[in-house]
Structure 1
Amino acid sequence: MTARHAAAEPARTRDSIDRHILRWEHEVPGLEPDLEGAVTRMQMLVRHLRHEKEAALARHGLKLWEYEILWRLRSAGEPYRMAPTRLARGLGVHPATLTSRLDRLQSAGLITREHTTEDRRSLLVGLTPRGAETWAAVIDDQREAEAGLLAPLTGKQLGDLAALLRVVALAVEEDGPPLMAHLD
């Protein structure tokens, strides 16, 4: 729906983005209402999801960097362990930074650090049962927030939205490595 169409619709079907577009299309020559509406809505929804994630982390007593370490360990698959150098590389942090972070997570009982049986100089970082439970609780909260956000859509609409966003994501990925490479 373009801003012009939004102006003709009853106020209850217009959102804050429609009002934003109506206000700015007079000030910004060439403003494309559908383009502005799509991008601004995506930005707003990402901010909403980020807020929900921060709230879930706070409920479980985690900081984002702590969650990311737990997530990276969980993504390694059973037995949910990996070498600190691989973990640092996957997180994009300096190994010295990771060491202090691991100290804090180990003190909290969320991870272990154990020497490998092959080489006593090598360590493996692993999730504790408490770390795995904490990670799972945050994931459950996020899933609930995401489902709530998209609940107004029918199953078909949700599928259509996913398909449309896939088209855009594929176009972005053609230009280089995906920004979400950390999901692999």
Structure 2
Amino acid sequence: MASQHSAAESSQAQDSIDLHIARWGREVSGLVPELEGTVTRMQMLVRHLQQRKEAALARHGLKLWEYEILWRLRSAGEPYRMTPTRLAQGLGVHPATLTNRLDRLQSAGLITREHAPEDRRSLLVGLTPQGAATWAAVIDDQREAEGALLAPLDKKELNHLAALLRVVTLAVEEDGPPLMPYID
């Protein structure tokens, strides 16, 4: 469990990134401690969350690509179905790659493939109840890991952090669409 320190207390304590900055500050002229510390901490926290996600996926017998297909179908909204073409585009994979992946997920009972009622030549990929339950279980594990990661912050600090990250995100998004769109 994470220790509960206020932001003021934590700003006085040194973490591993402070040691990294001290070491590299001697080696790299022009190193800006605030920039290096912020970026390196963000990278470390993303790796931490990625490790927790990988552990959750393993607990539920999923590979990342399997989870991403389930996530994309769930993001379509009820009835959690879409065409293989739209699914491939949303995932950024070649349709032939997707076909093999869908075969494996269908064999595992996580998805269905059926003809579209309005056009029998078109297929729809959908979540099965088992696929939806598996997706939900992974999401619950991720929510728990994210909550544990941010538990040292009180609500005001968490809102402040979210607002600061929004400023940076908006600046990045001015340069073009995000690498991984969260909204279709």
TM over 0.5: yes
- Number of residue pairs matched by the alignment: 175
Corresponding residue number in structure 1 for 2:24 = 24
For residues 139 and 117 of structure 2, what CA distance do their matches in structure 1 show?
32
CA positional deviation for 1:147: 0.3
For residues 154 and 162 of structure 2, what CA distance do their matches in structure 1 show?
12
Contact 1:116 1:123 in 2 (8 A): yes
The Cα RMSD (Å) is: 1.5
Unaligned runs of 5+ in 1: 1-8
Contact 1:49 1:146 in 2 (8 A): yes
Letter in 2 for 1:137: A
Corresponding residue number in structure 2 for 1:62 = 62
Alignment of 1:4-153 (within 5 A): 13-153=13-153
1:86-117 superposed Cα distances (whole Å, 9 cap, x missing partner) = 11111111111100000000000000001122
TM-score norm. by structure 2 comes to 0.92
CA positional deviation for 1:172: 0.5
Which has the higher mean CA deviation after the structures are superposed, 114-123 or 139-148? 114-123
For residues 119 and 150 of structure 2, what CA distance do their matches in structure 1 show?
49
CA positional deviation for 1:183: 4.3
Letter in 1 for 2:150: L
For residues 91 and 123 of structure 1, what CA distance do their matches in structure 2 show?
17
1:94-152 superposed Cα distances (whole Å, 9 cap, x missing partner) = 11110000000000000000112222221110000000000000000000000000000
1:21-63 superposed Cα distances (whole Å, 9 cap, x missing partner) = 1111111111111110000000000000010000000000000
For residues 35 and 120 of structure 1, what CA distance do their matches in structure 2 show?
56
Unaligned runs of 5+ in 2: 1-8
Alignment of 1:157-172 (within 5 A): 157-172=157-172
Q: What is the identity percentage for the equivalent residue pairs of Structure 1 and Structure 2?
A: 81
Runs ≥4 residues deviating over 6 A? none
Corresponding residue number in structure 2 for 1:5 = none
For residues 176 and 119 of structure 2, what CA distance do their matches in structure 1 show?
38
CA positional deviation for 1:182: 4.2
Greater RCO structure (CA 8 Å; 6+ sep): 2
TM-score norm. by structure 1 comes to 0.92
